[in-house]
Amino acid sequence: MYDYIVVGCGFAGAVIAERIATQLDKTVLVMDRRGHLGGNCYDYRDDNGIIVHKYGPHLFHTENRDVFDYLTNFTHWQAYQHKVLASIDGQKVPIPFNFNTIDMLFPADKAKTLRDKLTTGYGEGAKVPILELKRSDDADMQELADYVYNKVFVNYTAKQWGMKPEDMDGAVTARVPVFVGRDDRYFNDTYQAVPKYGYSEIFGRMLEHNNIRIMLNTAFRDVMNITEDGFTLFGSEFTGKVIYTGSIDELFGYRFGDLPYRSVDMRFETLDMEYFQDTGTVNYPNEHEYTRITEFKRIHPAVTDKTTILKEYPMPHQRDKNIPYYPVFTEENRKRYDEYVGLAEKYKNLILLGRLAEYKYYDMDDIVERALEVFDTEIR
């Protein structure tokens, strides 16, 4: 028997397992239903030597020095500043919307007026949500907000979430900013990089410890069970801690129904050209069925005359048929999740951690920070 069981080996599970093994000198069984480590952060080199992110682009960025230093123990970083273009009215323009974008899309006099008013009203370097611009008393600011809303936000979000624009929660626009300045980077965090040899190396090094045993191609129900009395492992009672990072509704047999997610059909293409596009990612808010195209050679440079791209087609999540990526946040779904949490609280040796278990979207740095916090407060 083991001291701890970790279900799932994405960042949430891997960080917890590494901390338990190295800091507590306890034994850990890590299981994952997939045939690889890393969860959705898994990557690999394709036939042309290009590092490809199997489950969509993962760009590491953080303001948290502790998180960055922790991960540095397991990787060599390669500096990378992510830039994104959006296809708007036949032009590829930088997003988030900034002064460069404004200059490209508006007449010169109008662009200068918008820049001046943004600088005066909000200050150089500010990120102003378009929801805030919409509430402005200034007609030019309202016009800019409406432009960004209609050209960048509405149709992209309709594709991403499968909802009509009129059914969307207007507060979601708060996540769409206008940047006051000419910084074209998609992120403004202090620490921005990608692992030089890919994310999979991080997980391999993180979990390489004598106290850790890994079982891949193993779902929770393959070796464990949960009853009213607790957990079993290989048919015997298990009284150690269980850190569960999978879907909470699946853990409890979908007793209160499925928690909805959006999924993505990832379609990869290898092209006989050196480069396909000018930057790592190009968004297509108003055309095509896919939302964006990522070119991995722009993220991880490789010496090859071919390139690999990924087109993402959002779709509903269907149980056992595709991968749950993005929780669909509604009041009804939150109440359903709370019912599952009520069940989980009956098990004193169960810890829920991660996007699926907590029904919450985490960036990579956020989930590493969360896992380190859970280790310190609930395990150590």
Question: What is the rounded CA–CA span in Å between residue 2 and residue 27?
Answer: 5
Question: What is the token pair recorded at 25?
Answer: 């000198």
Is there a domain that residue 277 lies in? no
Q: Please report the pLDDT score of residue 229 as a whole number.
A: 94
Instruction: Report the CATH number at residue 347.
Output: 3.40.50.720
Q: Are residues 106 and 135 in the same domain?
A: yes
Q: Are residues 171 and 108 in the same domain?
A: yes
- Chain-wide mean pLDDT for the chain? 95
Q: Are residues 170 and 218 in the same domain?
A: no
Please report the sign of the dihedral spanned by the C-alpha atoms of residue 352, residue 357, residue 361, residue 364. positive
Long-range contact list for 115-118, CB < 8 A, 24+ apart? Answer: 117/141, 118/144, 118/178, 118/180
Q: Are residues 12 and 161 in the same domain?
A: no
**One-letter-per-residue 3-state SS of the chain:** CCCEEEECCCHHHHHHHHHHHHHHCCCEEEECCCCCCCHHHCEEECCCCCEEECCCCCCEEECCHHHHHHHHCCCCEEECCCEEEEEECCEEEEECECHHHHHHHCCHHHHHHHHHHHHHHHCCCCEEEHHHHHCCCCHHHHHHHHHHHHHHHHHHHHHHHCCCHHHCCHHHHHHCEEECCCCCECCCCCEEEEECCCHHHHHHHHCCCCCEEEECCCCHHHHEEEECCEEEECCEEECCEEEECCCHHHHCCCCCCCCCEEEEEEEEEEECCCCCCCCCEEECCCCCCCCEEEEHHHCCCCCCCCEEEEEEEEEECCCCCCCCCEECCCHHHHHHHHHHHHHHCCCCCEEECCHHHHCCCCCHHHHHHHHHHHHHHHHC
What percent of the chain clears pLDDT 90, i.e. is strictly above it?
Answer: 91
Domain end, chosen from 129, 151, 179, is at: 179
Question: What is the rounded CA–CA span in Å between residue 114 and residue 130?
Answer: 14
Which tens digits make up the pLDDT trace of 16-73? 999 999 999 999 999 999 999 999 999 999 999 999 999 999 999 999 999 999 999 9
- Mean pLDDT to the nearest integer, 232-260: 97
Q: Are residues 34 and 124 in the same domain?
A: no
Question: What order do you get walking across the sheet with 261-271 strand by strand?
Answer: 91-95, 84-88, 281-283, 292-295, 307-316, 261-271, 326-327
Is there a domain that residue 375 lies in? yes
> Is pLDDT of 290 > 60?
yes
Q: Please report the pLDDT score of residue 163 as a whole number.
A: 78
Which tens digits make up the pLDDT trace of 198-231? 999 999 999 999 999 999 999 999 999 999 999 9
Q: Please report the pLDDT score of residue 1 as a whole number.
A: 85
pTM for the model: 0.95
Q: Please report the pLDDT score of residue 178 as a whole number.
A: 95
Q: Are residues 100 and 175 in the same domain?
A: yes
Q: Omega of the bond prior to 301 within 30 degrees of 0, cis?
A: no
Is there a domain that residue 89 lies in? no
Domain end, chosen from 179, 207, 239, is at: 179
Is there a domain that residue 35 lies in? yes
Q: Are residues 254 and 333 in the same domain?
A: yes
Q: Are residues 143 and 167 in the same domain?
A: yes
Q: Are residues 162 and 216 in the same domain?
A: no
Question: What is the token pair recorded at 358?
Answer: 């907590």
Is there a domain that residue 243 lies in? yes
Q: Please report the pLDDT score of residue 167 as a whole number.
A: 66
Is there a domain that residue 264 lies in? no
133 phi and psi angles, rounded to 5 deg:
-65, -35
How many domains in the chain? 2
CA 173 centroid distance within chain: 19
> Is pLDDT of 171 > 80?
no
Q: Please report the pLDDT score of residue 130 as a whole number.
A: 87
Q: Are residues 253 and 164 in the same domain?
A: no
- Mean pLDDT to the nearest integer, 311-324: 97
- Contact criterion met (CB below 8 Å) for 173 and 134: yes
Classify 257 in phi/psi space as left (phi over 0), alpha (psi -120 to 50) or beta.
left
Q: Are residues 249 and 335 in the same domain?
A: yes
Is there a domain that residue 278 lies in? no
Domain extent at residue 206: 4-82+194-258+326-379
Q: Are residues 175 and 198 in the same domain?
A: no
Is there a domain that residue 321 lies in? no
Q: How far is CA 111 from CA 100, 182, 194, 328, 359, in A?
A: 9, 13, 35, 37, 41
Q: Please report the pLDDT score of residue 169 as a whole number.
A: 61
Which tens digits make up the pLDDT trace of 185-196? 999 999 999 999
Domain end, chosen from 127, 147, 179, is at: 179
Q: Which residues of 254-281 are buried (b: 16+ CB within 10 A; e: fewer)?
A: eebeebbbbbbebeeeeeeeeebeebbb
